[in-house]
Structure 1
Amino acid sequence: MTGQTALVTGANRGVGRELVSELVRRGARRVYATGRSLAALEPLVSDYPEKVVALHLDLQDATSIVEAASVATDVTLLINNAATLSTGSALLSDRATMVSMVMTNTFGTLDVIRAFTPVLESNGGGVVVNVMSLQAFSGSNGWDGYSASKAALQSLTQSMRPALKLLGIRISGAYPGGVDTDMIREFDTLKSSARGVAEGILDGIDAGEEDIFPDGVSRFVAELWRRDPKQVERLFADPDVLVPMLQEAHGRGDIVLA
């Protein structure tokens, strides 16, 4: 990360905040920390006043995305971390809520990539990382809209890879398991620390990985998925089976939380 200029969306809390801090610790030249509220980003700027620049960027506001790209013209590493989550069954949830998640998590992220592709290309190429979730591979009951939005982003990540490669831009996906953040604090599952996941994502970037599994749970599930995707689908559909299995694997030492 030494000498890189990075931009992190959704940097006001959780994994996004830790990504900014870890990028600074690893020697980034400058980090643009973006979010919907500049006031929420002030603590990060105060911690690293010579390195961190706060920018307004809202995935639901195309103008803010274009304006951010016009300011952050030296970016070489783009980390798309911002997302929204509303739970509920696809059969019962308000349609507008489902559409909002897809428009934010999928098409909002796509808008950011489209806006910053010319920036990365003009700087000699670079790296794009889309922070998704294991839910991109297998959805869970009640997470229907979120899972669909992340699965769509996973497909877009793969689809854009050849075109971006021609421009000297590598695009990767990061797929963390449960993270101890406000977004899923109420859910009973194994959770890694936000800092540990941020470190795992940056380690994956450094290693040149296209598919980054940044924590113990995600690596464990990824191995299951590679062997038998349908098994993972069935497990994610039944948390009464999945959660005890993960806890048992953690107890054996097969899963080490980040």
Structure 2
Amino acid sequence: MKINQSVALVTGSNRGIGKAIVESLVANGAKKVYAAARTWDGKKPMNDRVIHVELDVTDQKQIDALVGKAGDVNLLVNNAGVVDFVDIINASEEQFQRNFSVNLFGMWKMAKAFAPIIEKNTGGAMVNILSILSFASMPVFSVYNASKAAAWSMCLSLRATLKDKGIRVLNVFPGPVDTDMISAVDIAKTSPKDVANSILAGLESEKEDVFPDPMSESVYDAWKKDHKQIEKQFASM
């Protein structure tokens, strides 16, 4: 898919990876970008091709309203996400509900709502921001791990279902990225800008999966060779 002249909708776009994706889309010639987030700070959009919209991906009424406003979309970027730091034994039902409602069901609701729009607009693509933790779990991210693993499985079904509708599904598996979400985690991190650029490069090169940083690339390569070793390595973190 060509980014130039595309019309994109990016969820969770007021900071971090989402904000970087919006900036990269504009820099690469996107015709229009709907930058969606639960709240905006009142600042003007960075560019006249960017339209700020308020959206909670767990709210079906807000999604339906956005469908009515963004009928020209041919690229959906499912980026909105949440994380709780808790081990599996001490995790609460509320934490499970919070992570799954955004990271899994929010993504599913957006895909379901905008697949007909993208198909109507002669096809396009759907990008799903997952995590390298879809493959192997770190105990402190227990609930987030589970939601992202479930989302990965769901995205494989999306790819199979949408293929004949002219909609490509690109799944993205970042490692640590320098965002507010994991600011307290002391680990080497990749910049959101580099991640965004890798995602757009993957879109234009017709990839199905993108590992946008050095850690995710190395972990995936090792996982393919010996997934049990990666499981043990992550379990000790």
Q: Tell me the TM-score range normalised by the shorter chain.
A: over 0.9
What code does the residue aligned with 1:15 have? I
What code does the residue aligned with 1:149 have? S
The residue number in structure 2 matching 1:19 is: 21
Alpha-carbon deviation of 1:39? 2.8
Q: Does the 8 Å CA contact 1:11/1:82 hold for their aligned counterparts?
A: yes
Structure 2 unmatched ranges of 5 or more: none
The residue number in structure 2 matching 1:148 is: 146
Secondary structure, in 3 states, of the residue corresponding to 1:39? coil
More deviation in 107-116 or 67-76? 67-76
Alpha-carbon deviation of 1:82? 0.5
1:236 aligns with 2:223: no
The one of 154, 159, 162 equivalent to 1:161 is 159
> Where in structure 2 are the equivalents of 1:44-193 lying within 5 Å?
45=45, 47-48=46-47, 50-193=48-191
The residue number in structure 2 matching 1:39 is: 41
RMSD in angstroms over aligned alpha carbons?
Answer: 1.0
Secondary structure, in 3 states, of the residue corresponding to 1:86? coil
Q: Does the 8 Å CA contact 1:204/1:214 hold for their aligned counterparts?
A: no
Over residues 154-187 of structure 1, what are the superposed CA-to-partner deviations in whole Å (9 max), with x where a residue is unaligned? 0001112121011111111100110011100111
Aligned equivalents of 1:140, 1:215: Cα separation in 2:
18
Over residues 129-174 of structure 1, what are the superposed CA-to-partner deviations in whole Å (9 max), with x where a residue is unaligned? 1001101111111111101000000000111212101111111110
Which structure has the highest helix share of the two? 1
Secondary structure, in 3 states, of the residue corresponding to 1:75? coil
Structure 1 unmatched ranges of 5 or more: 240-258
The one of 3, 6, 9 equivalent to 2:5 is 3
Alpha-carbon deviation of 1:62? 1.2
Alpha-carbon deviation of 1:38? 3.0
> Where in structure 2 are the equivalents of 1:216-227 lying within 5 Å?
216-227=214-225
The residue number in structure 2 matching 1:252 is: none
Q: TM-score, normalised by structure 2?
A: 0.96
The residue number in structure 1 matching 2:32 is: 30
**Identical columns (%):** 38
Q: TM-score, normalised by structure 1?
A: 0.89
